């Protein structure tokens, strides 16, 4: 008698929620765990701080380009094989960062780590494979809530590891965690995509259809500007913490956790209320929360009342707003063409992350030696205001075409 295969060894069974969270979480963790180490890495490689900050902008830029192709490839060949291949390449790139003899070689391998963007693309696509509409937004909220716990503690751990063992410990941790996630993917991530007979080139030809959709652009811009506020913060906050407020690496890492804590609460709210209130109203609510917090931050900065506690504390509400808005905006992006969930996820993610890369680089340029936090705060407010306008555009367009909110 042949015994049935255990559930976790069946490649055709959908993955558990934990697996979906962790493949997205390893991608988020790779983005931010080393941020408290940037000043120390500049000293180690004897390189300008601005050069080391490019490890954020270049990583985000390449992530954007990769997501353009990762989505269609996963639609054509499946989520499982694409995720396995991405994990293997990520581990090789991470090993390269640890062995890099100088800053330029490090940056090259750091860009190679961007392949882990597959985790972000495929986690969204897998959710959309299993559920749709407002239910997808709700499930994404819970997935992102669980996922946010990973980057929440990442900078805290990264700051402590940097002070105790040096910056290499952060990338050593990523290497070890990457191995564990690869094992989990092999054992649990069953295939969820419906076989797609279109060639890769034919799938790329679907992009104009998405580009012509005003709803797609509305959701993309709402997500891009909302997350752009956070990416600008990623690019500038290490400088502000170190050179404006005189904080240590571990202190900066601990304060970064405030944003992720707010994001987790926002994700919980999205998971609980997205079905009841609808995607579009939730996107607007989240962007308004972020904008209100950034407006208060600017007022306090102009009034000379800025402290480290105020600056980093108000980013908790930025995280809260993003946690409410982004699961719903991402679900909206995937709802425009449900049959091309991977393609839409990749293209939408590319637009969002590409914009984030530009804003992270702009934040760096706005903070030369001797700068205060004010230019960064103004940039963060401008992007959050733009996200509100994009959200209103989505609602207006949905009413015109009769799409249920």
Higher-confidence position of 260 and 148: 260
Indicate whether 1 pLDDT > 70.
no
Query: Are 369 and 93 contacting, i.e. CB atoms less than 8 angstroms apart?
Result: no
Residue 71: which residues within 8 A CB-CB, separation 6 or more?
121, 125, 342, 343, 344, 345, 346, 347, 349
Give the number of other CB atoms < 10 A from CB of residue 366: 17
Determine whether 142 is exposed, middle or buried from the number of CB atoms within 10 Å of its CB (0-12, 13-18, 19+). buried
The span from the CA of 174 to the CA of 184, in Å, is 15
Q: How far is CA 11 from CA 8, 80, 116, in A?
A: 8, 8, 21
CA 89 to chain centre: 19
Indicate whether 283 pLDDT > 60.
yes
Nearest to 335 by CA among 277, 404, 400: 404
pLDDT, position 145: 64
The alpha carbon torsion through 252, 269, 226, 335 (nearest 10 deg) reads 140
Residue 61: pLDDT band (50, 70, 90) is confident
Residue 177: which residues within 8 A CB-CB, separation 6 or more?
26, 29
The span from the CA of 234 to the CA of 10, in Å, is 39
Percent of the chain exceeding pLDDT 70 equals 84
pLDDT, position 381: 95
Give the side-chain half-sphere CA count within 13 A for 227: 24
Interval 242-260: pLDDT, tens? 888 988 877 887 787 788 7
Residue 6: pLDDT band (50, 70, 90) is very low
Interval 311-339: pLDDT, tens? 999 999 998 999 899 888 887 887 776 66
Determine whether 80 is exposed, middle or buried from the number of CB atoms within 10 Å of its CB (0-12, 13-18, 19+). buried
Cα angle: 352, vertex 86, 357; to 5 degrees: 25
Angle separating helix axes 79-99 and 17-32, nearest 10 degrees: 30
Query: Are 241 and 308 contacting, i.e. CB atoms less than 8 angstroms apart?
Result: yes
Higher-confidence position of 61 and 336: 61
- DSSP alpha helix (H) spans, 240-340: 249-277, 279-302, 308-335
Kindly state the average pLDDT of the residues 221-247.
Answer: 86
pLDDT, position 228: 85
Kindly state the average pLDDT of the residues 31-50.
Answer: 81
Interval 330-384: pLDDT, tens? 878 877 766 666 677 777 777 777 777 678 778 877 877 778 889 999 999 999 9
Residue 5: pLDDT band (50, 70, 90) is very low
Residue 382: which residues within 8 A CB-CB, separation 6 or more?
none
- Of 72-76, 79-83, 166-170, 390-394, the least confident: 72-76
Query: Are 306 and 300 contacting, i.e. CB atoms less than 8 angstroms apart?
Result: yes
The span from the CA of 184 to the CA of 187, in Å, is 5
- Of 1-15, 66-80, 123-137, 278-292, the least confident: 1-15
What is the pTM assigned to this prediction?
A: 0.70
The span from the CA of 6 to the CA of 266, in Å, is 36
The span from the CA of 29 to the CA of 24, in Å, is 9
Retrieve residue 271's tokens: 């998971």
Q: Which residues of 246-273 are buried (b: 16+ CB within 10 A; e: fewer)?
A: ebebbbbbbbbbbbbbbbbbbbbbbbeb
Nearest to 57 by CA among 256, 203, 226, 234: 234
Retrieve residue 233's tokens: 């913060």
Domain chopping of the chain, boundaries: 14-190+201-401
Indicate whether 133 pLDDT > 70.
no
Percent of the chain exceeding pLDDT 90 equals 24
The CATH number assigned to the domain with range 14-190+201-401 reads 1.20.1250.20
The span from the CA of 215 to the CA of 271, in Å, is 22
């Amino acid at each position: 008698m042949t015994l049935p295969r255990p559930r976790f060894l069946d490649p055709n069974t959908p993955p558990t929620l934990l697996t979906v969270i962790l493949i997205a979480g390893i991608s988020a963790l790779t983005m931010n765990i080393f941020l408290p180490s940037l000043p120390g890495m500049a000293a180690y490689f004897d390189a300008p701080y601005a050069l080391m900050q490019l490890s954020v902008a270049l990583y985000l830029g390449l992530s954007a380009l990769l997501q353009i192709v990762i989505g269609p490839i996963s639609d054509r060949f499946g989520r499982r094989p694409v995720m396995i291949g991405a994990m293997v390449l990520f581990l090789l790139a991470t090993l390269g960062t640890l062995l890099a003899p100088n800053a330029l070689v490090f940056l090259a391998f750091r860009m190679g780590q961007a392949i882990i963007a597959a985790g972000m693309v495929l986690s969204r696509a897998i959710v959309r494979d299993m559920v749709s509409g407002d239910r997808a937004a709700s499930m994404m909220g819970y997935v992102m809530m669980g996922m946010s716990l990973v980057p929440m503690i990442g900078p805290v751990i990264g700051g402590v590891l940097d002070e105790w063992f040096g910056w290499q410990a952060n990338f050593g941790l990523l290497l070890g965690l990457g191995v564990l996630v690869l094992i989990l993917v092999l054992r649990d991530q069953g295939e969820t995509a419906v076989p797609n007979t279109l060639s890769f080139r034919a799938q790329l030809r679907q992009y104009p259809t998405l580009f012509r959709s005003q709803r797609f652009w509305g959701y993309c811009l709402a997500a891009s500007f909302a997350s752009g506020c956070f990416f600008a913060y990623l690019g500038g906050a290490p400088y502000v913490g170190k050179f404006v407020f005189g904080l240590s690496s571990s202190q900066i890492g601990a304060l970064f956790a405030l944003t992720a804590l707010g994001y987790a609460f926002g994700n919980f709210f999205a998971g609980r209320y997205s079905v009841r209130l609808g995607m579009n109203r939730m996107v607007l609510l989240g962007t308004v929360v972020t904008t209100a917090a950034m407006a208060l931050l600017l007022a306090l900065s102009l009034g000379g009342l800025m402290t480290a506690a105020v600056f980093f504390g108000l980013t908790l509400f930025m995280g809260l707003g993003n946690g409410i808005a982004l699961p719903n905006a991402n679900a909206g992006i995937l709802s425009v063409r449900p049959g091309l969930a991977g393609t839409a996820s990749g293209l939408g993610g590319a637009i969002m992350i590409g914009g984030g890369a530009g804003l992270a680089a702009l934040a760096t340029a706005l903070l030369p030696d001797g700068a205060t936090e004010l230019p960064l705060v103004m940039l963060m407010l401008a992007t959050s205001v733009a996200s509100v306008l994009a959200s209103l555009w989505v609602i207006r367009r949905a009413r015109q075409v009769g799409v249920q909110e």
